Each structure stands twice: as structure tokens, then as C-alpha cells.
Amino acid sequence: MIIKDKIILITGGTGSIGKELVRQVLKLKPAQIRVFSRDESKQHDLLEELGHPKNLRLFIGDVRDKERLFFACKGVDVIFHAAALKHVPSCEYNPFEAVRTNILGSQNVIEAALDQGVEKVLLISTDKAVQPINLYGSTKLSAEKLFVAGNSYGVKKTLFSVVRYGNVFGSRGSIIETLQKNNGGKVKLTDPEMTRFWITLDQSFELVNFALENMEGGEIFIPKIPSMKVIDLFEAIAPGAEKEIIGIRPGEKLHEILLTEDESRHAIELEKYLVILPEFHYFATGLYQKYHQTGKKLPSRFKFSSDSNPQWLTPEQLREMLRNNH
């Protein structure tokens, strides 16, 4: 109901996450979807792929360009902010560019949304934003903070919230895509003990939809998703391939975290999700009462980490998920 007959803007709409958002949102019969991205070739490919839907509009633009964003946001009801530079080595080598896109670009989205009176704005974030050790993660943490704080300016007219999740099956440039292209050669493994969170594209949209329907402004929504050892992932996709252990790369963690101990003090556990409530109350007291009524507080010193996760994916389950995704 939130999307039907509404005008939706998706920044980074030609990336792997953005494209999936476009596909899923189209099913919900919006009045119009505006894809905002920099690459005209990818926009053309997306249009061809989707069969030229009449309610799809393509805006060439960069989130660094505030003027262009203001124009793109005119009449928009909902924004999904998925535009970001996301490759860790690239962000480390080009730090100014990562800051301009991921931090200043996010601020531009917030300002454009406020100026144009957009109803709801959702940031697509990542587990790399939690206790970051690389620049990419630091920029996404900053974007999260900007979005949560944006509610102090929205005065209930424009709401800002965040979804935060792990690695996505089917995303462009992922380790799964790399392994699937391997033709029986040697594969490079960073560390046999490394673990990661995994989520499907469908699950990621379920989370986005849940957040959009339930957000009061300022929440960070986290899915309760499974973990997998990277060595098991290699065995599932490239069984029998010779493995070369190369060690953890610069800016890389052995395990990822989706919720810290400190965050868990003001988080609520729901059936399928964890919701971090803002520490600074931008709106009236009691606004988030519904989460307390339908969920429960987390245990003391709870942490949602990929190595201590109670849910684990087996190689067989992973192969089944990949078959279902094709």
C-alpha cells in the first residue's frame, strides 16, 4: 500500500541491489519509478531487460550533484538510497571519492528529500558499517548516522531509517560470482576460519518492505540471517578445486558483525528482524512503543556476529539457494 500508485526514486538503481529493488517495486504497481544513476549504458540495459515498462523513468545523475537530486526528487513519495562506492580496495585507494559519494552524497539525498517533502527515505547499509576497520565501512557508518539524525530536521513530515545486512547472493562482483566463473583452476582463499553473513535478493527486499511499512524514523532494521564459513562456500561452488591460502587482505575482517553489544542495549528482537531504536529521541516519547509490545529486549551483552550466529548455512543449502535463484 505504501508503494502502490506512489512515485518512487531509487538512487544507484542500476547496481545489483538497485536493480533488484526496481524489479520488486515494479510488481507493486507504483505510479512511477525513477532510477537515478551515473551510467547511461547500464540504464539502457536495465530498460531492455525489463521490457521498457511505461512507468520507469531514467535519470542520469550523481548523488554528489545536489541540484540534480533536488530536480529528481520533485513529487517523489519514497526514496531508496542504494548509491555507493562499495569496493574496499577502491575506497582505500580513492578515499576522497568514497567520502564524496557515500557521505556527502547521502547528505545531499537527505537535504533533497527534506526540501521536496518526501514521505519516507530508506538507506541501504551494510555490516561493514559496524565497528569499521576500512574506509568503506567508515563512510557507511557516517551515512547511517546522517540518516538517523535526519529525523531531527524532518519534523515527522519526512522520515529517515536504515536497513543493514550482510553479503547478498547474486550481487555483482561478489565472491560467489567470482567462483562461478572459475573453470577448475586454483582458487584463492583468505583464511579457512573466515565467516560471513549471507542474504538472498528476495530476503533483502522483504527487509526493505518491512522497514518501509513499519518505520517511525530513526530505526536501523537488521535481518536474522545465517552465517557460513568461507571455506564451506568454496566447497559448495568449486568442489575439489585447489585452494591457495593468501591471508586476510588489508581492511578485511575475519568475522563480520551486524549488531554490537552497545547497540543491543537499545535494540528490540522481533520474529525475523532486530530493530535498533535511536538513542536520541527526535520525536515524542513512546513513539517506538509498538516494537516493545510486539518484540522483546535482547539479553545483556548480546552481539550478532557471523562467528557466533546460531544459524548456519551448509554447502548443500547454499547450492539449493543458488539453484532457486537462477
Q: Do 102 and 136 form a contact (C-beta atoms < 8 A)?
A: yes
Q: Do 122 and 81 form a contact (C-beta atoms < 8 A)?
A: yes
pLDDT at 291: 95
pLDDT reading at 326 higher than 60? no
In CATH terms, 7-166+199-224+258-304 corresponds, of 3.40.50.720, 3.40.1710.10, 2.160.10.10, 3.10.350.10, to 3.40.50.720
pLDDT reading at 11 higher than 90? yes
| Distance separating alpha carbons of residues 226 and 166, to the nearest angstrom | 10
pLDDT at 309: 95
Query: What residues act catalytically?
Result: 128
Q: Do 269 and 291 form a contact (C-beta atoms < 8 A)?
A: no
| Distance separating alpha carbons of residues 20 and 23, to the nearest angstrom | 5
> Per the structure block, which three cell numbers stand in for 199?
542474504
Reported as a single tens digit per residue, the pLDDT across 36-67 is 999 999 999 999 999 999 999 999 999 999 99
pLDDT reading at 119 higher than 60? yes
| Distance separating alpha carbons of residues 162 and 221, to the nearest angstrom | 6
Q: What is the distance of C-alpha 258 from the center of its chain? A: 12
Q: Give the mean model confidence (pLDDT) for residues 62-73.
A: 97
Q: Give the mean model confidence (pLDDT) for residues 72-92.
A: 96
Read off the pLDDT band of 284 (50, 70, 90). low
pLDDT above 90 coverage of the chain, percent: 73
Name the E strands within 180-315: 187-189, 195-199, 220-223, 227-229, 243-245, 257-259, 267-269, 273-276, 296-297, 304-305
Reported as a single tens digit per residue, the pLDDT across 140-164 is 999 999 999 999 987 779 999 999 9
Q: Is 187 exposed, middle or buried (0-12, 13-18, 19+ CB in 10 A)?
A: middle
| Closest C-alpha among 216, 12, 222 to residue 119 | 216
| Helix, strand, coil share of the chain (percent; to 5) | 40, 20, 40
Q: Give the mean model confidence (pLDDT) for residues 105-116.
A: 98
The domain locations on the chain are 7-166+199-224+258-304
| Distance separating alpha carbons of residues 215 and 120, to the nearest angstrom | 8
